[in-house]
Structure 1
């Protein structure tokens, strides 16, 4: 027999947990419904975990408008710039293996890179290199649908005038992460796609994550859309060899939770390398900025978090992790007309205020 006082305490705990779960579900539903309010339009998927356990997981809207297919939590999305997390961890894995160092100059790997002796891997990781962001170049449309080898992509922007000296300021930069992907290939002897698949996806158990491809048959693929004045249209087609290691991965919310668990459990990196990804750095003048290696390091309600979003034709994504409470929230959208960024942050804040530990 369980003593009456212990039984009462257990009953109260169960009631408290149940009430918490109901509160989180109700408030999360409300936050998402404000943006994803058309059951017949493109939709999204959201997942919330606390201490590695999924406490919310729902899909909204349609995964395919032409076939009238409802969205499910299993759908695969393009994650855009959340790809940068994987690129940065791949670099740190190579450093852990002794194959490179983040303080190495780019010229050590790409001999003819302009000012490559002054730009380091660290500068590329932290968006402080000053090299021209290819997404801001007018000539981008001329290569958008071409199959570009990594060295061709690097060649596309490397001779452009620098925006500032390395380490002088923080300015978000896709080109830096393309250079990092090329370095991963040069150092590892594998394609970026193979390196990520074998060293991250397979090790983390991410069986529904891919390097994006419009020709490959991908089970449960969510189709991407734009919204025009007259209605929705299919996403603009691009060659994924252009965004490459800065934005060409695909995944599911469940796989992204596995990714987060692999990071917190040091499955892929030791503690020393992991710490490098999640610490703030300083500019040449000593000013601190809020970006580590592949993650923005911000706060929600005064509590430190790690976050990053993504945007690529037809898709938007956002992930927030609060390490002090082990809360992870991720949202995907299959229309770039719907942004999960603020929703995901607001959900994280709701969970933060609701859970005790």
Structure 2
């Protein structure tokens, strides 16, 4: 009995030492970048086996009201929205309402060259269609309320960048088309589909389709940094980034999302895994992108990654499947990118990770 007590005491001490070391090193990493206690800040979380082992906030959520950041603040997550759009498409496929090999002309008959562009190519950025964020005319619509059809019409007649399947090129337009397809196939608005089939189902009660008008508890406000100081973020109508970048969430809700994917709460395992395959181009070359995630590696260990950038906000998430480690960072100033920090925190966590048997 005494040996058992000594054994579990030793394990407890090891775990406490691990947690303290991780906290100290993580704090040091983050504070090397997020240095201003009274400037815009960020929130960071490290989770292991589905549970947070580090979660902290830095800086201010609102400069004018001098409100400090908390780990519960709600952030715009930018292109991390693409994960939700991709899984929504796979949910519709599992329901038999579409297949990823369908040409988009099946749903949008007048889309130029739509018979040769598949849903699959929209999902993994190999469609060749013009990215609307690179169009000079974007400023003309940035603050207008656009329907999904109007957004698709905005870029669909632009010259293509390459033949479908010829190369990988990150593309926001493809994910706007996917959002429109979700609406056409499901009979619901994109917002309603995501809220009812994902947020509500998973208990993600602090996740939203972005809005500047609705009162959102614990909202973090977005900022830009100029030579003379900080200014409020540029206003954009969220109907423009739409299904490519218009969702909001929190650290805890995003952990619910990651855990749900791991536990196949939204899709069967076979369908879920389609999001995490490195597909090939026409010439057989492998693409390091699945459906909604970059598929990379960190010092030989496979990772699933994605960041986001929208006026006033930046986000980044890294998941390490073979360790079940999830690292997430949000910033409320587009002057502070959490991308490299999150990767460094992931490396640190793996290095320190000594799971008990």
**TM-score tier (shorter):** over 0.9
Match of 2:350 in 1: 352
Match of 2:87 in 1: 89
Q: Spell out the pairing of 1:39-188 with structure 2 (5 A cutoff).
A: 39-188=37-186
Write the deviation string for residues 221-261 of structure 1: whole angstroms up to 9, x where unpaired.
00000000000000000100000000000000110000001
Name the stretch that deviates more: 6-15 or 255-264: 6-15
The root-mean-square deviation of aligned C-alpha atoms, in Å, is: 0.6
Write the deviation string for residues 263-311 of structure 1: whole angstroms up to 9, x where unpaired.
0010001111111001110000000010000000011121101010000
In the TM superposition, what is the alpha-carbon distance from 1:10 to its structure 2 partner? Answer: 1.1
In the TM superposition, what is the alpha-carbon distance from 1:356 to its structure 2 partner? Answer: 2.0
Name the stretch that deviates more: 256-265 or 4-13: 4-13
Match of 1:248 in 2: 246
Match of 2:302 in 1: 304
User: TM-score when scaled to structure 2?
Assistant: 0.99
3-state SS, counterpart of residue 281 of structure 1:
coil
Name the CA distance, whole Å, in 1 between partners of 2:176 and 2:79.
Answer: 11
3-state SS, counterpart of residue 216 of structure 2:
coil
In the TM superposition, what is the alpha-carbon distance from 1:6 to its structure 2 partner? Answer: 1.7
Name the CA distance, whole Å, in 1 between partners of 2:277 and 2:29.
Answer: 30
Q: Spell out the pairing of 1:217-232 with structure 2 (5 A cutoff).
A: 217-232=215-230
Aligned residues: 355
Name the CA distance, whole Å, in 2 between partners of 1:93 and 1:231.
Answer: 45
Q: Which runs of 5+ in 1 are unaligned?
A: none
Name the CA distance, whole Å, in 2 between partners of 1:258 and 1:92.
Answer: 19
User: TM-score when scaled to structure 1?
Assistant: 0.99
Name the CA distance, whole Å, in 1 between partners of 2:294 and 2:76.
Answer: 20
Match of 2:191 in 1: 193
In the TM superposition, what is the alpha-carbon distance from 1:60 to its structure 2 partner? Answer: 0.5
Write the deviation string for residues 190-238 of structure 1: whole angstroms up to 9, x where unpaired.
0000000000001111000000000111111000000000000000001
Name the CA distance, whole Å, in 2 between partners of 1:64 and 1:279.
Answer: 40
Q: Spell out the pairing of 1:259-278 with structure 2 (5 A cutoff).
A: 259-278=257-276
Name the CA distance, whole Å, in 1 between partners of 2:189 and 2:51.
Answer: 34
Name the CA distance, whole Å, in 1 between partners of 2:21 and 2:298.
Answer: 19
3-state SS, counterpart of residue 314 of structure 2:
strand
Name the CA distance, whole Å, in 2 between partners of 1:117 and 1:327.
Answer: 41
Match of 2:3 in 1: 5
Moved over 6 A (4+): none
Name the CA distance, whole Å, in 2 between partners of 1:203 and 1:249.
Answer: 16
Write the deviation string for residues 301-342 of structure 1: whole angstroms up to 9, x where unpaired.
211010100000000000010010000010000000000000
Name the CA distance, whole Å, in 2 between partners of 1:149 and 1:201.
Answer: 22
Name the CA distance, whole Å, in 2 between partners of 1:204 and 1:351.
Answer: 27
Name the CA distance, whole Å, in 2 between partners of 1:280 and 1:19.
Answer: 38
Name the CA distance, whole Å, in 1 between partners of 2:323 and 2:294.
Answer: 18
3-state SS, counterpart of residue 333 of structure 2:
coil
